[in-house]
Structure 1
């Protein structure tokens, strides 16, 4: 999940607790999140921890509204 902030962008994964990052641009936050996810997974592997299972999904919904 990537969100725009007052100073750039922030990112987190609802499926990976505690894995968050920031960046000044969309590209920077995407790169930082890639590195954060890899670091997090490597740490789990080193400590013989369970890999998080996906429990969320995303989708765009089309809605119409009348005034």
Structure 2
């Protein structure tokens, strides 16, 4: 089995509505998550979940991702926006004769350019 300490993880606090404590996830494994009341407990439980995930992948003959393979930008992400903004973007894209993706990409690029210029 690979050196589990090489796999990056993310920890975030859980709100009271989510049950409190901390959630741990591994970017290299989309479905490998765990939690704990404390950060230390979340890390320990996460380690157990990672072992179980890798063991299951190996038992089924599936490839096990290399450490840090989940951090590579795929060029794709999903963003949830209010329906009113979605409607405005769709209307603007149609008026300009471009796809919604092209319009949003243009807005993002322009915004990043302005931010880099002012930073």
Give the TM-score normalised by the residue count of structure 1: 0.77
Displacement over 3 Å in runs of 4+ = none
Unaligned runs of 5+ in 2: 1-9, 73-119
The structure having more radius of gyration, on CA atoms, is 2
RMSD over equivalenced CA pairs, Å:
1.3
* Greater fraction of residues in helix: 2
Unaligned runs of 5+ in 1: 58-67
Answering whether residue 13 of structure 2 is matched by residue 4 of structure 1, we say: yes
1:55 is displaced (CA, Å) by: 3.1
Tell me how many residue pairs correspond in the alignment.
57
Q: Distance in 2 between matches of 1:27 and 1:21?
A: 12
- 1:56 aligned residue (65, 71, 83): 71
**Relative contact order (C-alpha < 8 Å, sep 6+): which is higher?**
1
